[in-house]
Structures are given as C-alpha cells and as structure tokens.
Amino acid sequence: MARGDVESILSKLRKMSEEGVMSVFNEVMSNQRLRRGLGRAGEQFMHNKAAFDRNVETVLDFVNIPSKKDVRELKARLDHLSSQLLNLSIKLDRVLAHDKPAPSKSRARK
C-alpha cells in the first residue's frame, strides 16, 4: 500500500461518521491482502516494541536507574518480607501472652 493511499484513507476516515468507519473497516477486513498486511504490521509492531523495551531497560541499567520491572520485583519482595514480619510479630505476641504469669490476687488487692 502506497503512502499516498494511506493518507487518502486517513483523510476519508476523518470525514466519515461512525457508520462510515464501520463500512471501511468491513471493506478492509473483507480484502484478504489488506488483512494480511494489517496482520504483518501488527506483528512487526509487537516485535519492534519488544526490542525497544529491551533497549530502554539496557540503557536504564547502564545509568543505574531501576526499570518498572525492577521496581515491581522489589515491591513483591518487600510485600513478602512485610507479611513474614507480620506473621512473626503475631507469633511473638502469642508466645509473650502465653508466658506472661497471671496477676496474683495479692497484687490485685493493693
């Protein structure tokens, strides 16, 4: 598809209503060649996005800035440690409550 064709289609789409867009979409989907082209474009886009994401992560790592993935992994580890600390605190409270001697009656009367 030539660049002029794409620009022509986009200008037509801007002028059309929702019904017009649906009819163009249906025409594109009925044309096997266009459908294959859109599929290849989508695949190439996803391939390029994955490569771009890897490159950005490499650059961030190079300048020692954490990526979103690094932050998510760190948050998951902190959440896990926090839950372990909470469990340990609950167990410690139970042990201390069990070992605490009951107040004697002579102390309670004073």
- What's the pLDDT tens digit per position in 12-63? 777 767 777 788 788 878 888 888 888 899 999 999 999 999 999 899 889 9
Share of the chain above pLDDT 90, in %: 43
Task: Give pLDDT, residue 35.
Answer: 85
Residue 38: other Cβ atoms inside 10 A: 14
Q: Where are the domains of the chain?
A: 66-100
**Cα–Cα–Cα angle for 4, 15, 42, rounded to 5 degrees:** 55
DSSP structural state of residue 55: H
Cβ atoms of 29 and 37 within 8 Å: the answer is no
Q: When comparing pLDDT for 105 and 5, which is higher?
A: 5
- How far is the C-alpha of 106 from the C-alpha of 110, rounded, in Å? 7
The label of the residue with tokens 């064709």 reads 5
**Alpha-carbon distance values, 64 to 57, 60, 67, 70, 78 (Å):** 10, 6, 9, 11, 20
Are 47 and 32 within 8 A, CB to CB?
A: no
Cβ–Cβ < 8 Å for 39, 28: no
| Stretch 102-108: mean pLDDT | 59
Range among 1-10, 43-52, 94-103 with highest mean pLDDT value: 43-52
pLDDT at 109: 53
8 pLDDT tier (thresholds 50, 70, 90): confident
pLDDT of residue 99: 82
Q: DSSP assignment, residue 101?
A: P
pTM given for the model? 0.45
